[in-house]
Structure 1
Amino acid sequence: MALKATIHKAQLQIADMDRNVYADHNVIIARHPSETDERMMIRLLAFALNVTADDNKGKLEFAKDLWDVDEPALWHKDYTEAVLHWIDVGQPDDKRLMRAAGKAEKVSVYGFASSTPVWWKNIQSKLTRAANLTVWQIDAAQSQALAKLSSRSMQLQVTVQDGTLWMSTGEESVEITPQRLTPGN
């Protein structure tokens, strides 16, 4: 018998001063049996950092990356099903990233292991044609602290200012400063 996903619900209150995005979002996350709290929370972090102010061009959604290799962790599709933004977490291989760069207008990766700089150094030369790719590193200690905020039902306040994100339950707070590994602005 196959194991089923565990459902997690999160109420996010987002105040992103860097992008002028202020909104509340109720999200449902289907957590794959093999997924850790840390990885799931990085997906939630990626949602908070990339959700748009409105749904005029479609909306950002959690995808089925651990179930379907042709899907990312999250994606923003427009109403014609064109992929505007492909978001992966972890350390995907260069072939997957090149396919994503060909399918989407924009590709982002959020690495969260301490080995992320080594992974990136080994594949970055293979991705020079992927001008629409941005790779971010979340410090391993910060992502592990973020994992401790995980629960089946979460109420989280997310504040983003000057490139730093604070995620809080009201009782506990985690500060995260993603580091951009790809060149650009």
Structure 2
Amino acid sequence: MALKSTIFKAELQLADLDRSHFGDYSLTIARHPSETDERMMVRLLAFALNASETLTFGRGLSAEDEADLQELDATGSIERWIDVGLPDEKNIRRACNRSRHVMVLSYGGRAAEIWWQQTAGKVSGQKNLRVLALTADEGKALAALAERNMRLQCTIQDGLIWLGGEQGHVELAPKVLQAPAE
């Protein structure tokens, strides 16, 4: 018998001063049985960094050819493709060809550093790709905030992120590994 996803609920109050975007979001997040709290919370962070009324969570680990989060435009084309973790460079290139904007939010400490060393040269020509990295400590701190029912406040300013709830708060400073030319 297959294990079912665990459902998490998050009430997110967002103040993104970098994008002048403010909003309250009621999110339902399905955590795959093999997914860790850290990965789920990194997906939640990726939502906060790109929040909009049309941004949705993908089917997650059970759908390899789908984004962890995506935003479609009015025509059904993929406007924004967001993956978390350490995606294969072929998947990154495919996403860049299918979407207007692609973001990868990597985490995992030393494994993420090795992944980027091996991947950077292969995706450096992608003009619509943004790659951010969290440290191992930042990922662990995010995981500590995970609860089945979360009430979180998030402020983003000058690339710094403050995320907090009843379990405490964290300050994050994702490192920009690659960014589209402005």
Aligned to 1:132: 128
Structure 1: runs of 5 or more not aligned: none
Instruction: Tell whether 2:101 aligns with 1:101.
Output: no
The runs of at least 4 consecutive aligned structure 1 residues that moved more than 4 Å come to none
Instruction: Tell whether 2:12 aligns with 1:17.
Output: no
2: CA distance between counterparts of 1:169 and 1:27? 15
Counterpart residue identity of residue 108, structure 1: M
Deviations 1:9-31 (A, max 9, x none): 00000011111111100000011
Aligned to 1:41: 41
1: CA distance between counterparts of 2:174 and 2:124? 22
Tell whether the 8 Å contact from 2:85 to 2:105 is kept in structure 1 after alignment: yes
Aligned length: 180
Counterpart mapping for 1:47-66 below 5 A: 47-52=47-52, 55=53, 59-66=54-61
Report the alpha carbon displacement of residue 171 of structure 1 after superposing the two structures with TM: 5.3
Report the alpha carbon displacement of residue 3 of structure 1 after superposing the two structures with TM: 0.6
Report the alpha carbon displacement of residue 79 of structure 1 after superposing the two structures with TM: 2.6
Aligned to 1:30: 30
Deviations 1:124-183 (A, max 9, x none): 111133111111001110110110010100000001111100111145110001100015
Tell whether the 8 Å contact from 1:60 to 1:75 is kept in structure 2 after alignment: yes
Counterpart residue identity of residue 36, structure 1: T
Aligned to 1:154: 150
Q: TM-score, normalised by structure 2?
A: 0.95
Report the alpha carbon displacement of residue 32 of structure 1 after superposing the two structures with TM: 0.3
Report the alpha carbon displacement of residue 116 of structure 1 after superposing the two structures with TM: 1.5
1: CA distance between counterparts of 2:15 and 2:21? 6
1: CA distance between counterparts of 2:55 and 2:123? 25
Identity of aligned residues (%): 44
Counterpart mapping for 1:63-74 below 5 A: 63-74=58-69
For structure 1, which segment, 9-18 or 127-136, has the greater mean C-alpha deviation from structure 2 after superposition?
127-136
Aligned to 2:4: 4
Tell whether the 8 Å contact from 1:157 to 1:170 is kept in structure 2 after alignment: no
2: CA distance between counterparts of 1:108 and 1:171? 28
Q: Secondary structure at the match of 1:154?
A: strand
Instruction: Tell whether 2:85 aligns with 1:87.
Output: no
Counterpart mapping for 1:107-118 below 5 A: 107-114=102-109, 115-118=111-114
Tell whether the 8 Å contact from 1:166 to 1:176 is kept in structure 2 after alignment: yes
Q: TM-score, normalised by structure 1?
A: 0.93
Tell whether the 8 Å contact from 1:88 to 1:109 is kept in structure 2 after alignment: yes
Structure 2: runs of 5 or more not aligned: none
CA RMSD of aligned residues (A): 1.2
